[in-house]
Structure 1
Amino acid sequence: MRERGRTRRLLGLGARTGGAMIRTRLGGQADWRALGEALFEGLSELKGPAMKLAQIMAQWDDLLPSDLVDELSRLQRQAEPMPWEGIRRTLVEQYGDLDERFREIEQRPFASASMGQVHRAVTHDGATLVLKVQYPGLPEVLEGDLAQVRRILRLGRWLKVPQARLDTLFEELAASLRGELDYHAEAESLTRYRDRYAHLESLVIPEPLPDLCGPRVLAMRYVAGTPLRDLEGLDDSLRQRVATTLADWLTEELFTHRELHADPHAGNFAVDPEGRLVIYDLGAIIPVPEERLKTMMALLEATLAVDPMGMDRAMLALGGRQGQGAPLALYRESAEAVVPLFEPGVQDFADVRVHRRLRELSPKVWAAMDRLQPPADTLLLSRTLNGHYWNLVRLGARLDMHARTAPLLEWARC
């Protein structure tokens, strides 16, 4: 009965979302704020894969209506926590007598997400830890939720997205969500990243504690920090240092190690009391093949040259365009919106003119979906890069992107 109720709620939310999309596609008006409120309330309680999908959608600041994004973004910081008793059962299954292992475990989490929540704990020797606890029963409901997400994704056909593309998108999403249930893999990622980026003194990655980790509990040393989303009013020099660290780390991740942290919402990043960037969550890491990266850089080079035909060739190589007729005017407008961020000298990511032009392009992008679509097998990569871009925007970053990208474009030509 409980599973059927969950399915009904997911289908109801999917139908409501589909109705709004269809009305918009047919030229009508949708109440995106009301839809966002309904999605927040329903998914915050249900959690799981559907909530994760909504969190991913909240990173699409440049495509989705702002009212909808505002409501969905609350899922990254205000999601209702799971009651303590359910979490406690999972901890007891992992550790046995909790009083023997810990002096204290805070019953109220200081972070709640789609697949689990985080509780502070203190050991008997006085060490402060965090315990990331997977929601009870999540592996059992995952496949059922994914089946409903597949149904919801079929609404993409109203936007003229081919079924094969929707299927590929679903498989990429499903693989990512299944991977996030593997806490042993996340512990290994934490260890790998700590070793890999030890030379970046401005970056902190929490230390996993293998003796306390299990299939559904990830134990790490506690690292205090101010969430990235709360830095807007703080010292500008601090925000610039953090933005530089974030940009340096992302560049090394992509172009040296061919991997990318694929969950860029602001709740996964913080700044510690020493002003260092903290990365809390490494549950989603994706590989980035060299050839795919070079093709994306070819698209950037054509964009910076305001070369619509070159942009179209790159989109075709990426698998991001279909049908007849390249949208050359849209390519040109997109390039003209992006180019200012890459002009020589320091550019301000907080420049609202750039964001306004990108938002103004959104309706034209949706209208061209029969010809121009994100490549399904790199959707997570492209949306991840978009999410990291918006983190730089939130920081008010001022970076010389021309100097940063020049050697990378040269590398891509080789």
Structure 2
Amino acid sequence: MRERGRTRRLLGLGTRTGGAMLRTRLGGQADWRALGEALFEGLAELKGPAMKLAQIMAQWDDLLPPELADELARLQRQATPMPWEAIRRTLCDQYGELETIFTEVETEPFASASMGQVHRAVTRGGETVVLKVQYPGLDEVLESDLVQLRRLMRLGRWFNVPQARLEALFEELAASLRGELDYRAEASALTRYRARYAHLAGLVIPEPLPALCGSRVLAMRHVPGTPLRELEGADDAVRQRLAATLADWLTEELFTHGELHADPHAGNFAADAAGRLVIYDLGAVITVPHERLAAMMRLLEATLDADPLAMDAALLALGGRQGEGAPLSLYREAAEAVAPLFAPGPQDFGDVRVHRRLRELSPRVWAAMDRLQPPADTLLLSRTLNGHYWNLVRLGARLDMSARVRPLLARAVR
């Protein structure tokens, strides 16, 4: 009964979302605020994969209507916690009697998310640790939600998205979500990243505790920090140092190791007392093949050169367009919109004029979606990069992107 109720609610939310999309597609007006409120209330209660996908969508600040994006963003910071008794059962399945391992486990979580929540605890040895606990029954819920997601993705046909592209996108999302259920894999990723980036003095990655980890519980040493979304009023020098560290780390991830942290919402990042960047969650790490990265960099190079024909050719090589492609004027305007971020010298990521220009282009991008379609196997990558971009915006970053990008272009496309 509970599964049928969940399915009905998801279908209801999907139908409402589809109706809003259809009205917009037909030239009408949709109440995006009301839709966002309904999605927040429904998904905050349902949790799981449906909420996770909404959090991913919330990172699409440049494409979603602002009212909808604002409501979905609340899911990143206001998730309703699971009752303690349900969490305690999972912990007991992992450890047996908790008192044999811990002197204290806080019953109130200090962080709640879509797939699990985090509780502080103190071991018998007196060490403060954090326990990331997966919500009970999430593996069964995932497969049920994916069935509904596949149905909802048929809405893409209204934008003339080919079925094969929709299927490829679904498989990419499904693989990413299934991977997040394996906390042992996340513990391994934490260990790998700690060793790989030990030379970055401004970066902190919590240490996993293998003896206390399981498939549904991830134990880490406690690293206190101020969440990135609460740093807007912080000292500017601290924010600039965090932004530079974030940019350096992402660059090394992509261009040296061919991987990317794929869950960039602001709750996964913080600043410690020394002003270092803390990365709390490595449940989603994707591989980025060099060939794919090189193709995307060719598109960036054509964009920075303001060459619409080269932009179209790069999109075609990526598999990102069909038919005659988008109007050349749209390519030109897109190049003009992003050009200020890559002008020589430090550029202000908080410049609202850039964001306004990108938002103004969004309706034209959607209107051209039957010809201009991001390839399914780069959608997660491009949306992840977009999420990291907005983290730099939140920090008010001032970075010389021209000096950073030009050597990378030469390196990636050679």
TM-score (norm 1): 0.99
| Cα displacement string for residues 183-212 of structure 1 (whole angstroms, at most 9, x for unaligned residues) | 110000000000000000100000000000
Asked if the contact 2:255–2:412 (Cα under 8 Å) also holds between the matched residues in 1, the reply is no
Whether 2:203 is the aligned partner of 1:203: answer yes
Stretches of structure 1 that go unaligned for 5 or more consecutive residues are none
- Percent sequence identity is 81
- What residue number does 2:4 align with? 4
Deviates more, 1:232-241 or 1:152-161: 152-161
Query: For 1:324, what is the secondary structure of its paired residue?
Result: coil
| Cα displacement string for residues 338-395 of structure 1 (whole angstroms, at most 9, x for unaligned residues) | 0111011110000111000000000000000010011111110000000000000000
Which amino acid is the alignment partner of residue 154 of structure 1? R
- What residue number does 1:256 align with? 256
Alpha-carbon distance, 1:325 to partner: 4.1
Query: For 2:286, what is the secondary structure of its paired residue?
Result: strand
Corresponding residue pairs, total: 414
Query: For 2:42, what is the secondary structure of its paired residue?
Result: helix
- What residue number does 1:379 align with? 379
Alpha-carbon distance, 1:74 to partner: 0.6
Asked if the contact 2:24–2:30 (Cα under 8 Å) also holds between the matched residues in 1, the reply is yes
| Separation in 1, partners of 2:349, 2:325 | 33
Alpha-carbon distance, 1:93 to partner: 0.3
| Cα displacement string for residues 149-168 of structure 1 (whole angstroms, at most 9, x for unaligned residues) | 11111111112211111111
- What residue number does 1:294 align with? 294
| Separation in 2, partners of 1:108, 1:317 | 51
| Cα displacement string for residues 268-295 of structure 1 (whole angstroms, at most 9, x for unaligned residues) | 0000001000000000000000011111
| Separation in 2, partners of 1:413, 1:229 | 35
| Separation in 2, partners of 1:169, 1:312 | 22
| Separation in 2, partners of 1:55, 1:351 | 24
Alpha-carbon distance, 1:323 to partner: 1.5
Query: For 1:256, what is the secondary structure of its paired residue?
Result: helix
| Cα displacement string for residues 245-269 of structure 1 (whole angstroms, at most 9, x for unaligned residues) | 0000000000000000000000000
Asked if the contact 2:312–2:325 (Cα under 8 Å) also holds between the matched residues in 1, the reply is no
- What residue number does 1:188 align with? 188
Asked if the contact 2:297–2:409 (Cα under 8 Å) also holds between the matched residues in 1, the reply is yes
| Separation in 2, partners of 1:397, 1:53 | 27
Alpha-carbon distance, 1:326 to partner: 3.7
Which amino acid is the alignment partner of residue 258 of structure 2? R
The residue correspondences of 1:353-372 to structure 2 (distance < 5 A) are 353-372=353-372
| Separation in 2, partners of 1:64, 1:259 | 27
- What residue number does 1:94 align with? 94
- What residue number does 1:21 align with? 21
| Separation in 1, partners of 2:390, 2:131 | 28
- What residue number does 1:401 align with? 401
Which amino acid is the alignment partner of residue 309 of structure 1? L
| Separation in 1, partners of 2:326, 2:76 | 37
- What residue number does 1:135 align with? 135
Alpha-carbon distance, 1:230 to partner: 0.5
Which amino acid is the alignment partner of residue 103 of structure 2? R
| Separation in 2, partners of 1:325, 1:100 | 64
Asked if the contact 2:326–2:368 (Cα under 8 Å) also holds between the matched residues in 1, the reply is no
The residue correspondences of 1:40-119 to structure 2 (distance < 5 A) are 40-119=40-119
Asked if the contact 2:59–2:265 (Cα under 8 Å) also holds between the matched residues in 1, the reply is yes
Query: For 1:88, what is the secondary structure of its paired residue?
Result: helix
The residue correspondences of 1:151-230 to structure 2 (distance < 5 A) are 151-230=151-230
Alpha-carbon distance, 1:412 to partner: 2.5
Query: For 2:208, what is the secondary structure of its paired residue?
Result: coil
Whether 2:383 is the aligned partner of 1:392: answer no
Which amino acid is the alignment partner of residue 120 of structure 2? R
Alpha-carbon distance, 1:324 to partner: 2.1
Asked if the contact 1:133–1:218 (Cα under 8 Å) also holds between the matched residues in 2, the reply is yes
The residue correspondences of 1:283-362 to structure 2 (distance < 5 A) are 283-362=283-362
Query: For 1:278, what is the secondary structure of its paired residue?
Result: strand
Which amino acid is the alignment partner of residue 92 of structure 1? C
Query: For 2:219, what is the secondary structure of its paired residue?
Result: strand
Asked if the contact 2:208–2:221 (Cα under 8 Å) also holds between the matched residues in 1, the reply is yes
| Separation in 2, partners of 1:370, 1:149 | 21
Query: For 1:260, what is the secondary structure of its paired residue?
Result: strand
Asked if the contact 2:295–2:413 (Cα under 8 Å) also holds between the matched residues in 1, the reply is no
| Separation in 1, partners of 2:278, 2:172 | 27
Asked if the contact 1:266–1:391 (Cα under 8 Å) also holds between the matched residues in 2, the reply is yes
| Separation in 2, partners of 1:328, 1:334 | 10
Asked if the contact 1:327–1:371 (Cα under 8 Å) also holds between the matched residues in 2, the reply is no
| Separation in 2, partners of 1:376, 1:260 | 17
Asked if the contact 2:120–2:130 (Cα under 8 Å) also holds between the matched residues in 1, the reply is yes
| Separation in 1, partners of 2:320, 2:217 | 39
Stretches of structure 2 that go unaligned for 5 or more consecutive residues are none
Q: CA RMSD in A?
A: 0.7
Which amino acid is the alignment partner of residue 365 of structure 2? V
- What residue number does 1:121 align with? 121
Asked if the contact 1:202–1:277 (Cα under 8 Å) also holds between the matched residues in 2, the reply is yes
| Separation in 2, partners of 1:114, 1:369 | 30
TM-score (norm 2): 0.99
Which amino acid is the alignment partner of residue 224 of structure 1? P
Query: For 1:107, what is the secondary structure of its paired residue?
Result: coil
Which amino acid is the alignment partner of residue 222 of structure 1? H
C-alpha distance 326-72 of structure 1, shift in aligned 2 (>3 A): closer
Asked if the contact 2:325–2:372 (Cα under 8 Å) also holds between the matched residues in 1, the reply is no
Whether 2:271 is the aligned partner of 1:271: answer yes
Asked if the contact 2:298–2:314 (Cα under 8 Å) also holds between the matched residues in 1, the reply is yes
Which amino acid is the alignment partner of residue 181 of structure 2? L
C-alpha distance 406-192 of structure 1, shift in aligned 2 (>3 A): same
Which amino acid is the alignment partner of residue 196 of structure 1? R
Asked if the contact 2:184–2:215 (Cα under 8 Å) also holds between the matched residues in 1, the reply is yes
Which amino acid is the alignment partner of residue 17 of structure 2? T
